[in-house]
Amino acid sequence: MFFAKIAYKCLNRKLLIKYMENKDYRVVLVIGNGFDLDLGLKTKYNDYMNSDYFDRAHSISAYVHSDKKGVNLFNYLKEKASDNHNWIDIEKELADFAIVRKRPATDLEKKSFFALQSSLCSYIKDINYQHIDSSSKAIRLLKILKEYPLLNIISFNYTNLKRLEPQIGAIKAPIDYVHGSVLDNSIILGFEDTLEIHEGFSFMIKTFSSYYKSHNVRKKLLDADEIIFFGHSLGKVDYHYFEDLFKYQSQPERANQKLRLRIFTKDENSRISILLRLREMNNKRTDLLYDLCDFKIYKTENDGKEIEQYFHELKERLTDLENG
């Protein structure tokens, strides 16, 4: 009887997905590190660098490779963090490091890079989920979306989204971990293809990682009827995934004028930063982006009433779609 019920539920879900595909209302949730931070997780790079994980890996690397030439990246990053009041963007610093080197990477630089990646993976895998903020905007949004049949989740985080299931129930949507995941120790640290670097540092390019996979991000975004960004800065490392979407949505002859587009960010400073990134991607025509689709940016620190209204409308909309 138990297995018969499971089979019945699976069959019902398959039929519902087939029915929904005919109605063709596709939702894409894109999450960045701001999503994890909104949950209350310590996933900032400086959280990692202030941890025992970084210190242990640093000490081991310094001891094992003490006789090797070149730069130990643990030392380099520690100095950069110290120069910047303990704040750091590790991937930006790695990019800056590689750009100015006009020679191949040394054995020390390669080994310390992969030791750094492994240590970061261990840190994130062991992050404590016991004190998740159950009232956070991130977890409430995921609760609304998690069972919608035509949802795709695109995560640019390393964290395992399934670890939230004890708080919110099963997440049935497919999840694309664009930069790999701690699920299978496949995290991808590094920078984008477009940087001009010596080929000897190509091991730091994300697409050169053996873990890099095709996720069809651009197609999923262009095919969507509703796209929700939560906690993604739209920064240069991931610029190429979103450029087509925002460029097309700012062109009257190409735009999907029925598209609902929402961006959740923390505060006014991050809102301005996102608008500046959008301005780069849409040839300085953000006015057309607003005009050619239903576009809004929400600040989680300030826009409580507007967010509540959107959550209410989203829940009703998805329920109506599922019920036909």
Given a cut of 50, is residue 16 above it in pLDDT?
no
Q: Which residue has the higher pLDDT, 21 or 280?
A: 280
Please tell me the predicted confidence (pLDDT) of residue 15. Answer: 46
Average pLDDT over all residues of the chain: 92
- Label residue 66 by pLDDT band (50, 70, 90): confident
Q: Give the pLDDT confidence score for residue 324 in this predicted structure.
A: 75
d(CA 9, CA 1): 12
Q: What is the pLDDT of residues 220-233, one digit of tens each?
A: 999 999 999 999 99
The reported pLDDT for the residue numbered 87 is 84
Tell which residue, 230, 236, 241, 289, has the closest CA to residue 263: 230
What pLDDT does residue 84 have?
A: 82
Cα separation of 180 and 196, whole Å?
Answer: 24
Per-residue pLDDT reduced to its tens digit, 89-107: 999 999 999 999 999 999 9
Residue 141 has pLDDT above 60, yes or no: yes
- List Cβ neighbours of 24 (8 Å cut-off, separation of 6 or more): 150, 225
The pLDDT assigned to 11 comes to 52
What does the pLDDT look like over 107-128, one tens digit per residue?
999 999 999 999 999 999 999 9
Whole-angstrom distance, CA of residue 6 vs CA of residue 207: 39
Q: Could you give the percent of the chain with pLDDT greater than 90?
A: 84
Calculate mean pLDDT across residues 150-169: 97
Count other Cβ atoms within 10 Å, centred on residue 308.
12
| pLDDT reported for residue 239 | 84
Query: Distances from the Cα of 213 to the Cαs of 30, 42, 177, 178, 307, in angstroms?
Result: 17, 27, 9, 7, 34
**Structural domains of the chain ordered from first start:** 2-42+134-178+215-323 (3.40.50.1220), 45-125 (no CATH)
Does residue 83 have a pLDDT over 80?
yes
